[in-house]
Amino acid sequence: MLDDRRMAVLRAIVEDYVSTGEPVGSRGLVERHQLSVSPATIRNDMAVLEEAGLIAQPHTSAGRIPTDAGYRLFVDQLATVKPLSAAERRAIQTLLDGPLDLDQIVSRAVRALAQLTHQVAVIQYPSLRTTRVRHIELIELAPARCLLVMITDAGRVEQRVVELPATLGPQTTAVLRAKLNEATAGPTLEEALVDLDSLWLGFTEDVRPAVQAVVDTLKAIPKSGYQERLVAAGTSNLARSSADFRRFMPVLEAIEEQVVLLKLLTEMSADSGQIAIRIGHETTQAGLEETSLVAAGYGPGRTVATLGVLGPTRMDYPGSIAVVRAIALYLSRILAA
Amino acid sequence: MLDDRRMAVLRAIVEDYVSTGEPVGSRGLVERHQLSVSPATIRNDMAVLEEAGLIAQPHTSAGRIPTDAGYRLFVDQLATVKPLSAAERRAIQTLLDGPLDLDQIVSRAVRALAQLTHQVAVIQYPSLRTTRVRHIELIELAPARCLLVMITDAGRVEQRVVELPATLGPQTTAVLRAKLNEATAGPTLEEALVDLDSLWLGFTEDVRPAVQAVVDTLKAIPKSGYQERLVAAGTSNLARSSADFRRFMPVLEAIEEQVVLLKLLTEMSADSGQIAIRIGHETTQAGLEETSLVAAGYGPGRTVATLGVLGPTRMDYPGSIAVVRAIALYLSRILAA
DNA sequence: AATTGGCACTCTGAGAGGCCGAGTGCCACC
DNA sequence: GGTGGCACTCGGCCTCTCAGAGTGCCAATT
């Protein structure tokens, strides 16, 4: 029923519609593609595809456009991998140069992603829930005030100023620092936090409240909602893709809300470099019915967060997939260094 | 020539146009405001105001809209201070609660600013050029690799991983840390950096390259363009204010480019709490001809950066001014703590 | 059974024309 | 200086029409 030619027709419809934005008709199809059959035949095929729910007409006597299901079938079975151009490779390569600061790496990567896909790019910061602690530092800033710095193996650095009920003194600070590092050397931050509850036992009565203040601050880090966050770039690409602002206002809102998008990205996170795609309604988010999300996990060795691009369902999926995968791999490589 | 009534007419035109978005005619004006003269008189006044370049007609037989010069005169001489509502005060108050982390404070402030003004809000991060160093920390992460953490008096924390040509060892690290703190105790970071050039003299030959690597990293911090940055919020408000995307695509681009906006904000920075306004063409930025910027400096005691809102020239200036000023003052107060 | 050419039908989008109303500018008058 | 009256202008909206694109269906062909 859905034989080869009909699949070829679907592919041609998707490709034409993505590049032109106009509903595509039977005549144009045979002109632009080597289908070697007549428009009438194509029309019959289109009727079948429409029956199967893969394409639709905006109105009678218009051409067809792919439905969400049509795009889904396209990306799952029809899309051919589109290799990156030399220029694209070079653009991504330049990410490798320069400093090792996570903020800067993420910032550059998200820009590159937006620029290469001409879509809105989002990168989730390495989640504190799944990363491991590489190092904890405790610095006395002033009497009864110290700075707690935590470095994760994804290169993320979190710092908190802690107001103490008493001054610790350099020696106690050093001991506490050592104990903190020892206690958090476990698998992930979330699991390590349990061990901290009994940490105060190793200290004399007078400094226990201060120790507890530091521990409480540390425990609060992964719990504060702010810690799960994402950065976006390329929002001005939205205006290019659709002339109607109602289409992309929800996207801007979703980016600002963060929570919704983070949930979505987390659901989609897979192995590093593996692509996950949500098309239109599949996002199950009000306002994002005409928006697709192409995402991939990244991280040093294992996946610690997700990145992706956000665009209209009418999107160049093969191209986006190639770029997203490439950026995810490069980013993972940098973080593993 | 520009007597009281004509100024009242201008004010009325600005207010009506801002609230309705429609060109305002003479009849509507006398109906909505207590001008106690006839429409014909208003028409004569309008002719004078138009002659003076303060208002204009989109086309013959349409009402008048204010020009940039009209808005300028309005904000300079006619706008009355609009006190914040209790709800607005409360919303800002909640900023004071919670943790002391600069990132979070800025993040919350920019959201509040966007929400209360219904505009796009931007906050420049405390500039590293003008802030003082409060503390520098040097942490050995691994052999031949350490983390450099710098804390400014605006609460900003910068960290860099430094790859060293040799391992420093705990003792040398401590000495270097002390010397760094001593050298940077000067007035501003930029000035303090000069003293660092001779720092390596105080070390033995074998660790000098490593010392120099740390110093170089520190010196590079304020120079990397990335360090002057800003955060934005409320971009989805753009869609609400103007149905036409060509209007706000340049704004989105300006926010992503950062450089342009940072330059503009820096030019406008004044004393904390003092308001600076650029209207339409005054921004002197291509693409921002129909955009206004209401900004104020903030900082702990002295001004270290600028924040503001970005919106269409057709904007509620008194309201925006009140909110921007309030947020700037609150933010300054928090940073000074 | 699949494919094709022909043909009638439908619907959108652009363009032309016409009308209404809002708003102005001007002028004579108070 | 302020006011009422009046002619004039012009954009927005509504309707109407028409061409073009595209379809669905059917009978003919391979």
A239-264 confidence digits (pLDDT tens): 877 667 777 889 999 999 899 999 99
The more confidently predicted of residues B93 and A154 is B93
- In chain A, residues under CATH classification 3.30.390.60 are 133-223
Residues sharing a CB contact under 8 Å with residue B108, sequence separation 6 or more, in sequence order: B95, B98
The rounded distance, in Å, linking the Cα atoms of A256 and A174 is 41
Q: How confident is the model at residue B128 (pLDDT cuts 50, 70, 90)?
A: confident
Q: Is the CB of A47 under 7 A from strand C?
A: no
Residues A146 and A214 sit within 8 Å (Cβ to Cβ): yes
Contact A264, A285 (CB under 8 A): yes
Banded pLDDT at B99 (limits 50, 70, 90): low
Contact A45, A6 (CB under 8 A): yes
Which CA distances in Å does B212 have to A115, B169, B180?
A: 37, 15, 12
**A104-161 per-position pLDDT tens digit:** 889 999 999 999 999 999 999 988 877 888 888 888 878 888 888 888 888 788 888 8
Q: Return residue ranges of chain A for CATH 3.30.450.40.
A: 86-127+228-336
From the Cβ of B59, is strand D under 7 Å away?
yes
Is B149 in Cβ contact with A134 (below 8 Å)? no
Cβ–Cβ below 8 Å for B151 and A160: no
Is the confidence at residue B34, as pLDDT, over 60?
yes
Three-state DSSP class for residue B108:
helix
* In the predicted structure, residue B225 carries a pLDDT above the cut 70: no
If you average pLDDT over residues A273-293, what whole number do you get?
Answer: 93
Q: Are A315 and A290 in contact (CB under 8 A)?
A: no
- Which residues in chain A are closer than 8 Å to B139, comparing Cβ atoms? 135, 137, 149
Q: Is the CB of A31 under 7 A from strand D?
A: no
Q: What is the pLDDT of residues A174-201, one digit of tens each?
A: 899 888 988 888 777 777 777 787 888 8
Report yes or no: B221 and B161 within 8 Å, Cβ to Cβ.
Answer: no
| Confidence at residue B1, expressed as pLDDT on a 0 to 100 scale | 54
Predicted confidence (pLDDT) per residue in B297-308, tens digit: 999 888 889 999
Contacts of B141 in chain A (CB under 8 A): 134-135, 151
Give start and end residues of each alpha helix (H) in chain A. Answer: 4-20, 26-32, 39-51, 68-73, 86-96, 102-117, 170-183, 189-195, 208-220, 236-241, 245-257, 259-268, 317-336
To the question of domain B133-223 being in CATH 3.40.50.620, the answer is: no
b/e per residue, B267-291, with b = 16+ CB within 10 A?
A: ebbeebeebbbbbbebbebebbebb
Q: Is A240 within 8 Å of chain B by CB?
A: yes
> Please, is B51 exposed, middle or buried when counting C-beta atoms within 10 Å of its C-beta (0-12, 13-18, 19+)?
exposed
Name the one residue in this structure whose structure tokens are 């013959």. Answer: B60
Nearest nucleotide to B63 by CA–C1' distance? C23
**Res. B198 pLDDT band, cuts 50 70 90:** confident
Decide if A104 touches B, using CB distance below 8 A. Answer: yes
CA B74/CA B109 separation, integer angstroms = 28
Alpha carbon A218 to its chain's center: 26
Mean pLDDT across chain A, nearest whole number?
89
CATH number of A86-127+228-336: 3.30.450.40
- Strand D contacts in A 33-62 (CB under 7 A): 39-40, 43, 46-47, 50, 57, 60-62
Q: What is the pLDDT of residue B228?
A: 83
> Is A160 in the B-facing interface, judged by CB distances under 8 Å?
yes
Measured between alpha carbons, how far is A110 from A78 in angstroms, rounded to an integer?
Answer: 28
Token digits for B121? 């809000």
- Taking a C-beta distance cutoff of 8 angstroms, is the pair A69, A49 a contact? no
**A44 CB within 8 Å of a chain B CB:** no
Architecture of domain A4-76: Orthogonal Bundle (1.10)
- C-alpha triplet A316, A321, A325: angle, nearest 5°: 155
Q: In this structure, are residues A144 and A166 in contact, taking their beta carbons and an 8 Å threshold?
A: yes
What is the per-residue pLDDT across A5-34, written as a single tens digit (0 to 9) for each? 999 999 999 999 999 999 999 999 999 998
Helix (H), strand (E) at residue B138: strand B133-142
Q: Which residue has the higher pLDDT, A236 or A99?
A: A236
